Amino acid sequence: MKQDIKLGLGLSAFIAAALAWSYTYEDQAHQPSPQERAAAAQAKVRARLTQLAPAKRRDIDYAALDARFKRMVARPNMVGMAVGIVEQGRITFLSGYGETLAGSGEAVTPETVFRWASVSKGVAATMVAKLAEQGKFSLDQPVASLAPSLQLPNGVQTKASVADVLSHRLGLYRNAFDNKLEEGQSAGMLRRQLFTLSGLCAPGTCWSYQNVAYDAASEVVEKASGRRYEEELKRQLFDPIGMTSASATRAALQSAPSWAHGHSAGRRPIEVNDVYYGVPAAGGVNSNIKDMSLWMLAQMGEMPAVLSPTLLETIHAPRVATPGERQRMRKFLERLAEPYYGLGWRSYTYGGNRVLGHRGGVDGYRSLILFDPQRKSGVVALWNSNTFQPGGLEFEVMDMLYRLPFRDWMEIDKGLAAPAPAPVEEASSGDPR
């Protein structure tokens, strides 16, 4: 009997040990993978950064700015506008003003989707650099091997690099063939005809702003990834950053629950056409102001799992001086200096501080982004009319950030007189002027 009891106890112990091992094995089998853990950590980062953080407000007078933005949108050449501000690496202000469509009564909110126009160039450069970082190709590689549609004067596409495309150093005259693009000709066909032009310089030796040629970047992305350009943006940038409203097609803009209709400077509605969606790397991105603010945070280095510090340094580094920018931005020369272009990004010193940004314009829409990467503070704005007057708001924000004396950069206090002429580059990025 005692032996039977001992055997029974031994069997029970064996079964208990087996069960314990089984449970431990199952627990281990259900442990998240490194990829799952990384995704969960990134989701937490997104959730934190998406939340408005009033506690981070420090240097900017938001009440004063809000009052000025309301005065701005009441101007006769304005319809609607959305503004986002980041301080110390957190979103501190999101607001919409005016209407999505003149006379509709539908208010612009932080969820209203606008067009980014040429601010899209920074997205393209980021996407290309990310694929290069993944070993798909080198930024110094001849662009001819990745974008066969780009045919340059004297066959120099075999010498021009991918980085030359992204930094506008292809030796073409400014905005080459934009007029033909706006007539309805396809971007791919126009890139094949660029060889018929006279080259201004050897690739990499002079700077001249482009749209048709710049969109070779979308071809690079599609060849290297095997996916459509807008799909790869969504997979590698928009979704990981949390930009749920972001897209790169006209259909996506117009299917948004709230989207801003474009207008002339006289508040006349303008039909959205596909012209600059035909060069998505140069001007095809859409989103609401919240997602544009998240994009700025990612560019500030707040999402290193998506955009590494090395990648950001690659695209933000000043590669070519753009002295003509001083004339284009002459209204702000009191504080703006040292203009350079990197890969899809401009850089300046403003009041002695290094800032990064870009502006954009397509018919009916305008956009801007400007930030200080060291302070992790900056501003984004989108509006749905052809006036450039709100462009001064970025410098009013930076003046507060740097505690500089106030300047009426938006020219609100100058009455209803016409503001300074539009910068040439912006007016030629889809504006029929």
Are residues 146 and 138 in contact, defined by beta-carbon separation less than 8 angstroms? no
Query: Does position 392 have pLDDT exceeding 60, yes or no?
Result: yes
State how far the alpha carbon of 157 is from the alpha carbons of 137, 148, 396, in Å: 16, 9, 42
For residue 133, give both structure tokens: 């970082």
Rounded (10°) angle between helices 289-299 and 34-50: 120
pLDDT tens digits along 266-290: 999 999 999 999 999 999 999 999 9
Q: Can you tell me which residue has the tokens 């950001």? A: 312
| 238 DSSP 8-state letter | I
pTM: predicted TM-score of the whole model, two decimal places: 0.89
Which residue from 216, 209, 167, 83 is spatially nearest to 344, judged by alpha carbons? 167
Are residues 147 and 220 in contact, defined by beta-carbon separation less than 8 angstroms? yes
Query: Does position 20 have pLDDT exceeding 80, yes or no?
Result: no
Per the rule left: phi > 0, alpha: psi between -120 and 50, beta: everything else, 255 is alpha
What SS3 class is residue 40? helix
CATH fold of 43-138+231-427: Beta-lactamase (3.40.710)
| 137 DSSP 8-state letter | -
Give the confidence band of 428 by pLDDT, cuts at 50, 70, 90: very low
Q: Can you tell me which residue has the tokens 């280095």? A: 301
Average pLDDT over residues 32-57: 87
Average pLDDT over residues 283-299: 98
Phi, psi dihedrals of residue 85, rounded to the nearest 5°: -130, 140
Per-residue DSSP letters for 304-354?
Answer: TTTS-HHHHHHHHS--EE-THHHHHTGGGTTTEEEEEE-SS-EEEEETTEE
Query: Does position 423 have pLDDT exceeding 70, yes or no?
Result: no
Name the amino acid, one letter, at 290: K
Domain locations along the chain: 43-138+231-427
Q: Can you tell me which residue has the tokens 């209204």? A: 331
E strand or H helix that includes residue 165: helix 162-166
**Distance, CA of 197 to chain centre:** 31
Phi, psi dihedrals of residue 406, rounded to the nearest 5°: -65, 140
Give the confidence band of 27 by pLDDT, cuts at 50, 70, 90: low
pLDDT tens digits along 162-197: 999 999 999 999 999 999 999 999 999 999 999 999
E strand or H helix that includes residue 371: strand 365-372
Say what the pLDDT of residue 46 is. 86
State how far the alpha carbon of 183 is from the alpha carbons of 174, 187, 276, 326, in Å: 17, 11, 11, 31
Q: How many CB atoms lie within 10 A of CB 172?
A: 24
What contacts 149, CB < 8 A, 6 or more positions away? 188, 191, 192, 216, 219
- The region of weakest confidence among 14-28, 55-69, 86-100, 229-243 is 14-28
| 87 DSSP 8-state letter | E
pLDDT tens digits along 85-115: 999 999 999 999 999 999 999 999 999 999 9
Query: Does position 427 have pLDDT exceeding 60, yes or no?
Result: no
pLDDT tens digits along 113-149: 999 999 999 999 999 999 999 999 999 999 999 999 9
Query: Does position 431 have pLDDT exceeding 50, yes or no?
Result: no
Q: Half-sphere exposure (CA, 13 Å, Cβ side) for 193?
A: 12
**Distance, CA of 318 to chain centre:** 18
Report the share of the chain in percent with pLDDT over 70: 89
At residue 382's C-alpha, the angle toward residues 287 and 322, to 5°, is 105
Report the share of the chain in percent with pLDDT over 90: 83
Residues 78, 65: Cα–Cα separation, whole Å: 17
Average pLDDT over residues 234-261: 98
